[in-house]
């Protein structure tokens, strides 16, 4: 079953693979194409869960976020 998602696979110089979901902007990587795609599925699921969560995002507390 196709989800209609556009996924870009890139073989990096170090031999690892990056997988990028063009619609969501979520990316992941792995030592093989299959691993990168599996990791991407996990990352998308976690991202969707976080976006649907009613808990507010924490305020940034790193010094580079200060005005």
Q: What is the pLDDT of residues 1-55, one digit of tens each?
A: 456 889 999 999 999 999 999 998 899 999 999 999 999 999 999 888 888 887 6
Distance CA 16, CA 31 (A): 5
Predicted structure pTM score: 0.71
What is residue 34's predicted lDDT score, i.e. its pLDDT?
A: 97
Count CB neighbours of 19 within 10 A: 24
Copy the structure tokens of residue 30. 């792995």
Residue 42 falls inside a structural domain: yes
What is residue 66's predicted lDDT score, i.e. its pLDDT?
A: 61
Q: Which residue has the tokens 């093989």?
A: 32
User: How many domains are contained in the chain?
Assistant: 1
Residue 65 falls inside a structural domain: no
What is residue 65's predicted lDDT score, i.e. its pLDDT?
A: 56
Distance CA 38, CA 19 (A): 9
What is residue 48's predicted lDDT score, i.e. its pLDDT?
A: 87
Residue 21 falls inside a structural domain: yes
What is residue 52's predicted lDDT score, i.e. its pLDDT?
A: 87
Residue 19 falls inside a structural domain: yes
Domain that holds residue 21: 1-50
């Amino acid at each position: 079953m196709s989800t209609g998602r556009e996924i870009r696979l890139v073989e990096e110089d170090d031999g690892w693979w990056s997988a990028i979901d063009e619609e969501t902007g979520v990316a992941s990587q792995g030592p093989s194409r299959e691993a990168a795609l599996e990791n991407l599925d996990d990352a998308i699921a976690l991202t969707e869960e976080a976006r649907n969560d009613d808990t507010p995002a924490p305020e940034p507390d790193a010094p580079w976020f200060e005005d």
